[in-house]
Amino acid sequence: MEVRIYYEDTDCGGVVYYANYLKYFERARTHCLEEHGLSVSELIQEGTEFRVTKAELAYRSAAVHGETLVVETTVSASRRASIIFSHVIRERSSQRLVVEGSATLVTVDSHGKIKRIPPLILEALNISTNSLPSSN
């Protein structure tokens, strides 16, 4: 997924404000799910929501106004009720590494109670249930 950096994305030093990378990660996860045929809105209507329980970022270089970033998102691990998405952000033209990180998401029902990942999600993301550990 591509993200163009606008002035509003930057801090007083002219570089992307550090917390905005979390927003880019969120957009990229939604984009990743949609590319795999999953609609977040439809999942919510069907009683499955995602909650971030952990986020990690490692800043490698500064991105600035006018650049276009490419966010690569992959599913790097999964358990019975959680998924870890890994993210790599590079500047599009130079391929310069900007940020690396991950986010752990737990699946919950409409009342916020943790639940197993529905088979539909596992199938869409090509996660084998045979490889999942028995605990969260």
Q: What is the pLDDT of residues 83-116, one digit of tens each?
A: 999 999 999 999 999 999 999 999 999 999 999 9
Q: What is the pLDDT of residues 7-49, one digit of tens each?
A: 999 999 999 999 999 999 999 999 999 999 999 999 999 999 9
Q: What is the pLDDT of residues 45-59, one digit of tens each?
A: 999 999 999 999 999
Instruction: Please choose, from the candidates 33, 44, 26, the residue with its C-alpha nearest in 3D space to the C-alpha of residue 111.
Output: 44
Cβ atoms of 60 and 69 closer than 8 Å: no
What tokens appear for 94 in the block?
A: 């130079």
Q: What is the pLDDT of residue 130?
A: 52
What total of structural domains would you count in the chain? 1
In a domain, 31, yes or no: yes
CATH number at residue 56: 3.10.129.10
> Domain of 120?
2-127
Residue-level length of the chain? 136
The pTM of the full predicted model, rounded to 2 decimals, is 0.89
Distance CA 76, CA 74 (A): 6
Q: How confident is the model at residue 61 (pLDDT cuts 50, 70, 90)?
A: very high
What tokens appear for 53 in the block?
A: 């329980």
Cβ atoms of 95 and 67 closer than 8 Å: no
In a domain, 135, yes or no: no
In a domain, 102, yes or no: yes
pLDDT at 135 over 90: no
Q: Which of 2, 4, 6, 11 is catalytic?
A: 11
Q: What is the pLDDT of residue 107?
A: 97
Q: Which amino acid is at 123?
A: E
In a domain, 99, yes or no: yes
In a domain, 27, yes or no: yes
Q: Enumerate the H helices of 1-136 as residue ranges.
A: 20-35, 40-45, 119-124
Check if 11 is active-site.
yes
Distance CA 52, CA 116 (A): 15
